[in-house]
Structure 1
Amino acid sequence: MTAATEEPKKSRAGRNLPAAIGVGVGMGSIATASLIFEPAIFVGVVAVAILIALWEFGNALATTGVKIPVVPLGIGTVAMLAAAYEAGTESLMVGLLLTVLGVIGWRIAEGPDGFVRDVTAGVFTSVYLPFLAGFAILMVAAPNDGAERVATFILVVVCNDVGGYAAGVLFGKHPMAPRISPKKSWEGMAGSLIGCAAGGAICMATLMDDAAWKGALLGLALAVAATVGDLGESVLKRDIGVKDMGTLLPGHGGIMDRLDSLLIAAPICWLLLSFFVDPTP
């Protein structure tokens, strides 16, 4: 095999590292640009990402015979994110309720075969994708420092991935959940905790102009949440029987494979920043 036809070399963690880094930088640049120029653009970026993830998840579930109602879920995604940006938490909750009702009504019209199965998957999807993503929108909609909150959120979760990856590759010997994610180790988890605590402290002190210790606590909480999100999607993929949810992003898989950590971490970050930065008198 010649050099021209050789497959890209993968890291010890199984990734095409140069491609993964390039895609990660590109995605981060898009998010950063949207936050700098206009927060509403960030809402659109998130909506597009969730719609693509919804399509990927629907295709993956279809291989098992599950058919989620994509049309009401797509409409509900846009409605939930827009409502969260314009009117806050209560509107996000109302959007979720209406989306669930839309999923049920749409599936009723298709007949009884597999009704419970498809509706259950559809309701799960409405919570897992657009509802959890809505908390990132709630952060960007915060007056005065919305962009800084989202930047802190994204940077700390990136620290989780980078710290966990580096420590796992260099020191990983003890699997954390071998039946779910064989390459994830306790040493990698330690790297995630250290990376997130440091990243959170720096972000809180610089971007949020607040106490570094609050950022360290935020980082520790997000490290746990992001790891749970990563393991949760690994469980989904093993249950469905796919390696990745999609192939859109070289070195990463699909959009949904990059959102797993962010989705679970978003409500935790929103809650803690609301408490730390906007304490109740």
Structure 2
Amino acid sequence: MAEDREPSHPMTGSGQPTNASAAEPPQKKSRAGRNLPAAIGVGVTLGALIIAILLVESRGWVVLVAAALTLAIWELYKRLRQQGFHLPLVPLIVGAPLTTLSALPFGVQGVLTGFATTAVVSMVWRLFHNGLGGKPENYVRDAAITLFVATWVILFGGIGALLVLTEQGAGPIWVLMIAVVCSDIGGYTAGVLFGKHPMVPQISPKKSWEGFAGSMIAGIIGSVITVSVFLDESPLLGVLVGAALVVSGTLGDLIESQFKRDLGIKDMGTLLPGHGGLMDRLDSLLISAVVVWGIVAVLGYQMTV
């Protein structure tokens, strides 16, 4: 999860300063910026839910992803609306679950078709439903960010849903989730204990090279285990997969961090105490899901739909 400080001069979508973030009540936090007890409680609860679904009925993962993406779209819509952006809510919030669930009967074709349809409908919807009562204003800006959100959440999330529909069953999901969790824990621990050298202070001031090293070590260890156990592949592949997922997870954190800094906000929302909003948890997972899908394709695993 990205751990940012609030930018000193937050701006709205129209270029005007906003004090929306300043109104958020302060919370007692750890050195790394989290309400640690709340973060642990929420993390354990979410982890238990995912484990239960994967063990009982792995295809329930697709339904879980659909629900999460719908909430994420709503969260992003509210945040962007507060900053003066006008996104077409109806096509996005309908397209997110339909695109994801279409993976069950139609596989890759369902996700790609759902994403493309959502993108087209969103562009047309914004043209005629601009919320301003007159001719469209800021159409290019709003259409561009709509397509960014649709790609970031709906397409990447849909790809994440597909991971459970290969001949390896829930194996790729275990690899994805455990690598990202290990990376997050390793980075948090190393950053708190040893973090001295900022990694990209202009984007995420609290992210350190020491924390990245901790993420890399923990992520590789987790991936060696999961790739060997769940995919029955070489531990050497686990090393490569772990390194790739740590890099992708870190880049996902940074993308969301810059997104929030552009909006002048600290968290995407308040749905998950100790973590912020749902997107503050999905940031690294969405990018990493694409990486795992690429690995699945290279290994030649067949789809089961």
What is the aligned partner in structure 2 of residue 186 from structure 1?
209
Superposed displacement of residue 120, structure 1: 1.2
What is the aligned partner in structure 2 of residue 217 from structure 1?
240
1:257 aligns with 2:280: yes
What is the aligned partner in structure 1 of residue 23 from structure 2?
none
1:174 aligns with 2:217: no
Superposed displacement of residue 88, structure 1: 2.1
**Hey, what's the Cα distance between the residues in 2 that align with 1:106 and 1:146?**
38
Moved more, 98-107 or 76-85: 76-85
Task: Flag the 1:277–1:19 CA change in 2: closer, same or farther, 3 A.
Answer: farther
Task: Flag the 1:171–1:88 CA change in 2: closer, same or farther, 3 A.
Answer: same
**Hey, what's the Cα distance between the residues in 1 that align with 2:273 and 2:294?**
33
**Kept after mapping to 1: 8 A contact 2:69/2:97:** no
What is the aligned partner in structure 1 of residue 38 from structure 2?
19
**Kept after mapping to 1: 8 A contact 2:77/2:87:** yes
After superposition, what is the alpha-carbon deviation per residue over 1:204-229, rounded to whole angstroms, capped at 9, x for unaligned?
11122221111111000000000000
Superposed displacement of residue 39, structure 1: 2.8
**Kept after mapping to 2: 8 A contact 1:199/1:216:** no
Match for 1:228 among 228, 251, 258? 251
After superposition, what is the alpha-carbon deviation per residue over 1:96-129, rounded to whole angstroms, capped at 9, x for unaligned?
1111111012112224122222211111111010
- 1:165 partner amino acid: Y
Q: How many residues align?
A: 272
Match for 2:261 among 232, 235, 238? 238
Question: 1:1-281 residue pairs with structure 2 within 5 A?
Answer: 9-110=28-129, 111-143=135-167, 145-276=168-299, 278=301
Moved more, 266-275 or 110-119: 110-119
**Kept after mapping to 2: 8 A contact 1:198/1:216:** yes
Task: Flag the 1:195–1:95 CA change in 2: closer, same or farther, 3 A.
Answer: same
The runs of at least 4 consecutive aligned structure 1 residues that moved more than 6 Å come to none
**TM-score, normalised to structure 2's length?**
0.85
Q: Look up the SS of the partner of 1:176 in the other structure.
A: strand
Listed as ranges, the gaps of 5+ residues in structure 2 are 1-25, 130-134
**Kept after mapping to 2: 8 A contact 1:197/1:219:** yes
Superposed displacement of residue 50, structure 1: 0.9
**Hey, what's the Cα distance between the residues in 2 that align with 1:200 and 1:135?**
20
- 1:129 partner amino acid: V
Q: Look up the SS of the partner of 2:59 in the other structure.
A: helix
CA RMSD of aligned residues (A): 1.6
Q: Look up the SS of the partner of 2:170 in the other structure.
A: helix
**Hey, what's the Cα distance between the residues in 1 that align with 2:105 and 2:56?**
18
**Hey, what's the Cα distance between the residues in 2 that align with 1:70 and 1:9?**
34
User: Using CA pairs below 8 Å that are at least 6 residues apart, which structure has the higher relative contact order?
Assistant: 2
**Kept after mapping to 2: 8 A contact 1:139/1:149:** yes
Superposed displacement of residue 130, structure 1: 1.2
Superposed displacement of residue 17, structure 1: 0.9
What is the aligned partner in structure 1 of residue 17 from structure 2?
none
**Hey, what's the Cα distance between the residues in 1 that align with 2:298 and 2:50?**
25
Q: Look up the SS of the partner of 1:166 in the other structure.
A: helix
After superposition, what is the alpha-carbon deviation per residue over 1:176-211, rounded to whole angstroms, capped at 9, x for unaligned?
011111110011111111111111001111122221
Superposed displacement of residue 89, structure 1: 2.0
Listed as ranges, the gaps of 5+ residues in structure 1 are 1-6
Q: Look up the SS of the partner of 1:39 in the other structure.
A: coil
**Hey, what's the Cα distance between the residues in 1 that align with 2:236 and 2:300?**
12
| Structure with greater helix share of residues | 1
**Hey, what's the Cα distance between the residues in 1 that align with 2:44 and 2:95?**
30
- 2:94 partner amino acid: I
